[in-house]
Amino acid sequence: MPDRVIGRIKRVNGPVVEAMGVSDAMMFELVRVGEENLVGEIVKLEGENAIIQVYEDTTGIAPEDPIYGSGEPLSVELAPGLIGNIYDGIQRPLEEIRAISGIYIKRGIRVDSVDKSKKWHFVPSVSEGQDIHEGMIIGTVRETERVEHRILVPYRINGKLKSIMPEGDYTVEETIAVVQTENGDRNISMLQKWPIRKPRPVSERLPLDIPLITGQRVIDTLFPVAKGGTVAIPGGFGTGKTMTQQALAKWCDADIIVYIGCGERGNEMTDVLTEFPELIDPRTGKTLMERTILIANTSNMPVSAREASIYTGVTLAEYYRDQGYHVAIMADSTSRWAEALRELSGRMEEMPAEEGFPAYLPTRIAEFYERAGYMKTISGKDGSVTIIGAVSPPGGDFSEPVTQHTKRFVRCFWALDRGLANARHYPAISWLDSYSEYLDDIAAWWERNVGPDWKKDRSEIMDLLQREVRLQQVVKLVGPDALPDSQRFILEVCTLFKNAFLQQNAFDKIDMYSTVEKQARMLHVILTYWRRGSEAIKHGATLIKLKKMKVYQDIVKMKFSIPNDDIEAFNKLEARLERSFDQLESIYER
């Protein structure tokens, strides 16, 4: 970093540092503060004073200490070697930091975000003399067994390809191509930088009509999200936000996962770090770590880096999207990010709006979620970024500002319910408060790929669940015995649906993940039981009889007993179900 002193410290208040005598600095410039070289960013310029947000603990920093400017905005490094890594909020690799400073994170450490000495096998895909434009793919590198890293022409480089290196092993900093542009020759390496607060450009936004398959039944079947969509998962503590996020990171069908642990527990990141390299992705047979980038800014790490971690994550995601991948971001939790904003805003003595949050909170939330989308990238490929943000409302109260503002900018809402979590009904996604605006957009996909019944079946079961709520209100007043069997059967079917379908055991080898085919068949089985059952009741069968049917236990256990690839078992189960009802009805028809 150049030793350009841009000012001196005037005042230190936690992570917010005021500088004086500043003449030559730009907004969002990356700076180093004090003799310890703490990383900071300029967030406000006013006359000769500047406000700097420092990304490390400022203990011991004193007035008069120098501030060094870097001349460039806070950026991330983009190159092969990102996948499988774990970074802090400003893209410093935590494994490297550990090698330097042991079990604790010491301050002022400078490490490269990507390994600059490692050689990658580059295969060019363009030839000399060809027209080159920004964002174009000029070659590939096998980054992990499952991810082919596509090397993109950096932004603002357009012209003719003067030379390109032949297939071979290069480090990320070596020049692999030279482009003749209007402003002279430009060297291209596999490494490029991008400022984290600026969205990467795309050609155009495409409609969102392909679901992101998560393998979680309550999500895929009831409240699906589209690739490129936005989701909020709000829930009080202990309702399973992190468990849901981790299940999605494990089983969703995105190509790349960016998992941002923002202001959460250290052990949760450790859990992911120890578990993911051992888990095998059912689709590719490779370990899950080979598609995952982790960003960990745990709750005890400096608060301002928490603010940056969200942007760091989304910029990495956009980079892979531009290569033509479908990327999913899990941000756990956006509330901690909003609280970091609040803390910094408070220290800068800005006028607060609701509950101490700054007035620009909704703008920031919107900016973040708008970076999601299904895009036609500049390289011509399709790619998407799906954002799934956890929200931790204080006291589990969804009327607080972060939840409310987030709701305005997301199109899918998975509300976690305290009552369900208390009953250990996981995932505790409430079927009454949640919604998805992608239903109609992706219905065609289900019809094409799974079968014609999804939308109809889904409406039918949702209708039953709604009727159940009304009936439960009656039950609460007069007891279940007051209801006729036909209505009590609705309660029974809903209980069955909750136990046998909605509840999903994240630790069971078979149940942890369900294919869409399995989901559709399971739903169909339950609805068959409902349809035939209510017919039977009309003909005089009793509720007890229906519950004592042997096949009932098979339906309850089908999620555990029938593996994803054994669709034949569902045919048998359905046949058995029909037969049982035939027998039952034959008694009553006589």
Partner 1 sequence: MKDREKLELLRAKEYIGLEKIEGPLIFVKNTHPVGYREIIECVDPSGDIRLGMVLETSTDMVVAQVFEGTSGLTLPGTKVRFQGEPLTIPVSKRMLGRVFNGLGNPIDGGPPEKGEMELNVNGMPINPTSRKYPRDFIQTGISAIDGMNTLIRGQKLPIFSGNGLPHNELAAQIARQAKIRGTETEFAVIFAAMGVKHDVARYFVKSFEETGVLENVALFLSLADDPSIERLVTPRTALTLAEYLAFFENMHVLVIMTDMTNYCESLREISTIRGEIPSRKGYPGYLYSDLAEIYERSGMVKDSEGSITLLPILTMPNDDISHPIPDLTGYITEGQIVFEREMYARDIYPPIAGLPSLSRLMKDGIGEGMTREDHPHLASQLFAAYSYVKDVRNLASVIGEEELTPLDHTYLEFGEAFERKFISQRIDEDRSIEQTLDLGWEVLRILPVEELHRITEEEVEKYYNG
Residue where the block lists tokens 């049917």: 549
- Which one, 41 or 441, has the nearer CB to partner 1? 41
Report, in Å, the least distance between residue 492 CB and partner 1: 12
Question: Bridge-partner residues for 384, per DSSP?
Answer: 326, 374
- In one-letter notation, the amino acid at residue 56 is E
Decide whether 32 or 425 has the Cβ nearer to partner 1.
425
CB of 209 to partner 1, least distance (A): 36
CB-count exposure of residue 14 (10 Å: 0-12, 13-18, 19+): middle
Which one, 75 or 514, has the nearer CB to partner 1?
Answer: 514
Distance CA 443, CA 448 (A): 9
Rounded to the nearest whole angstrom, what is the least distance from the CB of residue 44 to partner 1 in the complex?
A: 16
DSSP string, 183-211: TEEEEEES-EEEETTSPPP-SEEE---SB
Closer Cβ to partner 1, 132 or 272, answer by number: 272
φ and ψ at 193, to 5 degrees?
-115, 155
Q: How far is the CB of 159 from partner 1 (least distance, A)?
A: 42
The least CB distance from residue 13 to partner 1, in Å, is 5
CA–chain centroid gap for 16, Å, is 29
Which of 258, 323, 325, 326 minimizes the C-alpha distance to 296? 258
- Least distance in angstroms from the C-beta of 122 to partner 1: 29
CB-nearer residue toward partner 1: 238 or 380: 238
Element (H, E) at 457: helix 454-478
DSSP assignment of 387-446 equals EEEEE--GGG-TTSHHHHHHHHH-SEE--B-HHHHHTT-SS-B-TTT-EETTHHHHHHHH
Distance in Å, CB of 545 to partner 1, minimum:
14
Rounded CA-CA distance 157/131 in Å is 11
Q: Give the phi and the psi of residue 491 in degrees, each rounded to 5.
A: -60, -45
Question: In the complex with partner 1, which residue's Cβ is closer, 539 or 560?
Answer: 560
Report the distance separating Cα 500 and Cα 213, nearest Å. 20
Least CB distance to partner 1 at residue 11 (A):
3
Of the two residues 78 and 86, which places its CB atom closer to partner 1 in the complex? Answer: 86
Q: Which residue lies nearer to partner 1 by CB, 89 or 224?
A: 89
Name the DSSP letter for residue 548. Answer: H
Closest CB 428 distance from partner 1, rounded Å = 12
Nearer to partner 1, 17 or 256 (CB): 17
Burial of residue 355, with CB atoms counted within 10 A of its CB: 0-12 exposed, 13-18 middle, 19 or more buried: exposed
The type of residue at 524 is: H
Grouping H, G, I as helix, E, B as strand and the rest as coil, residue 146 is: coil
